[in-house]
Amino acid sequence: MGVPIDGKIVAAKYKEELKLFIKDRALRGLNSPCIASILIGEDKGSIFYMNNQNKLCSEIGVEYKKIILPKETSEQVVLNTIEDLNNDENIHGIIIQLPIPEGLDEEVIVNKISHLKDVDGLTDINCGKFYKGEKCFIPCTSQGIIELIKSTGIKIKGKNAVVLGRSIIVGKSVAQLLLNEDATVTVCHSKTMDVKSICQDADIIVAAIGSPNFVKEDFIKEGAVVIDVGFTVVDGKMAGDVDYENVIHKASYITPVPGGVGAMTSIMLIKNTCEGLGNEY
């Protein structure tokens, strides 16, 4: 029987460290870090995510500025909004909630964010630095995934890791982070032949494809570590990419949905923001 990896417990360690960091800044007369989060439209998932971020920031002592723009907002207005935040010395991190409405150029909008405030690590500058191995902001979800794997005590070095999905936000970046940890990495996607047999040889599986219960018990070898990044609503309930109830019997460790990866993403966002203040954190 596998052990669930509780993302909230792992995140709590960083939460306490960040609280101490903020408290120390206050004692030295320094202002609290501030994250500005931009939402264009009324995407319910994004609103839910923003509310959770806001709550966590409040608990830690980080300011969180919500900027909600109407769905019909022009691209130029969005770019002007970001430029104002880039120039605001009281704003230390900027994130744009994705997806954005059709008709707006996501690449142009994301890259308008200063790479010095791009705490989600999505701009071309930070992506380039990341893949070159230079110091930069690392995508929050992928960073959280690596921390969850390490929390099990299992060594990543030398392990066979399979990543399901090749998105820039998760798939490609977590594959690179696993390579950085000296794992042997295979990335599977919609054109991959016989995904099941590839997974059956994996010591670590990261599922990030948005396909409910795709990873079945017979995909998993005994003792594999399974990280489920999927998040889909099925019949009013949240479902991951992994058939949790059956896979847990073969995995050594597995993340539930909810309660796994999601809990780490927001704390990594705040961690990145604090690190962006310099060498203090």
Residues annotated within the binding site for NADP(+) are: 165-167
Q: Which residues, other chains included, contact 48 with Cβ-Cβ below 8 Å and sequence gap of 6+?
A: none
Q: Which residues, other chains included, contact 56 with Cβ-Cβ below 8 Å and sequence gap of 6+?
A: 15, 266, 267, 270
3-state secondary structure labels for all residues of 105-128? CHHHHHCCCCCCCCCCCCCHHHHH
Task: Yes or no: say if 66 and 49 are a contact pair by the CB < 8 Å rule.
Answer: no
Residue list for the binding site? 165-167
